[in-house]
Amino acid sequence: MKTPLSSTTITFIIIIIISTTISPPQPVTSLGSSSTIAISYSSNSATTVCGIIAGASTKRIQCYKQGQIVSIQPNLSYESISGGHGFFCGLRSGGFSLLCWNTTNFHVKRIYYSSTHRLTNLTVGNSQICATQANSGVAFCWRFVSPEVAWNFLTITSGGGFSCGILEKNNAMRCWGGSEIENVIQTQFGNATMLSLVAGESHACGVTKNGTLICKGRNVAGQLDVPPHSAFDFSTLALGANHSCAVKRKNGLVVCWGGKPERSGFDSGVMNNESFESIVAGLDFTCGLTTKNLSVICWGQDGPVG
């Protein structure tokens, strides 16, 4: 596992106003899934939260690091972003170009360009970057192994040293990457028919065809202990190292479970009154885009964090 986020970097409340007009959120976001907000975590450079601003004609990226606003260059339109350990990546609108930024110095690298093959489903794990080809669903990864080209995916997600996806042909989940936990997760999901899937550091959760939310993998802190629910209660999911969060479809409220084993859990009284459009997780905290005013609020084990 990579260096966890130091809790000393999280000492104040951050309430970040990204914009009053953020792009419509993607259905599923996390440590490693496509979104319009992303978290990059690191031991030596502070946590960075980035968002796509959709107010103007240019849907540019803006980040927040140590209370500072950083405008990301190149100032172009992006359709999704996803964050990892010390960096984040953005897919340019249209899907023909993929750029990644180091969150220490915000230097940019273009890692993909094509005039013919669009990418979608950008998902960054701890260090791997994966995306699918829009027309075929074939997944490609950078700084990581790519899965078999015979696998066509509906969606993919990236966790700590593994990535998984839902196969187009039968909605079964398949993982790749070669980590030990990946085999555990894959085996535990078995032949479940999946509609959505999100990976955390060493677990994954998803909604099955019958509407049940299931979580599989490592359970050191209760991150697999999904609270009782009815079919299709949950929409967006966000998974960190030892916790899981889900947005309730009917009212946008967030439910979290897991956290440190010695504590009562990650379930946050803090967010009890707030409705969210989408949520995304860092290793030990979660951020959400509020329905009320589209600002980003982050919270952890013990309440709001920044």
Ligand X SMILES: *[C@@H]1O[C@H](CO)[C@@H](O)[C@H](O)[C@H]1NC(C)=O
The residue ranges that bind ligand X (CB under 6 A) are 4, 15, 17, 26, 34, 56, 58, 60, 71, 75, 80, 86-87, 102, 104-105, 120-121, 132, 134, 137, 155, 190-192, 208, 210, 212, 214, 220-221, 241-242, 261, 269-270, 272-273, 283-284, 290, 292-293, 295
Kindly give, in sequence order, each residue whose CB lies less than 8 Å from that of residue 102, ignoring residues fewer than 6 positions away.
86, 87, 109
In three-state secondary structure terms, 8 is helix
> Least distance from C-beta 271 to ligand X, angstroms?
8
Tokens of 271: 């967010």
Strands 15-17, 68-71: pairing kind: unpaired
What three-state secondary structure class fits 226?
Answer: coil
Lookup result for tokens 């919270």: 299
Minimum CB separation of residue 71 from ligand X in Å reads 4
- Alpha-carbon span 297 to 280, nearest angstrom: 10
Least Å distance between CB 115 and ligand X? 19
C-beta closer to ligand X: residue 228 or 269:
269
**Residue 156 Cβ, how far from ligand X at the closest point, in Å?**
8
> 24 or 190, CB closer to ligand X?
190
Would you say 17 or 145 has its CB closer to ligand X? Answer: 17
**Distance between CA atoms of residues 83 and 95, nearest Å:** 17
State the Cα–Cα distance between residues 179 and 206, nearest whole angstrom.
Answer: 20
Shortest Cβ 112–ligand X spacing (Å): 15
Judged by beta carbon, residue 86 or residue 252, the one nearer ligand X is 86
Class of residue 184 by CB neighbours under 10 A (exposed 0-12, middle 13-18, buried 19+) = middle
Shortest separation between residue 113's beta carbon and ligand X, angstroms? 19
Phi, psi of 119 (to 5 degrees): -105, 155
CA 240 to CA 262: how far, in whole Å?
17
Query: Considering beta carbons, is residue 176 or 276 the nearer one to ligand X?
Result: 276
Nearer to ligand X, 115 or 269 (CB): 269
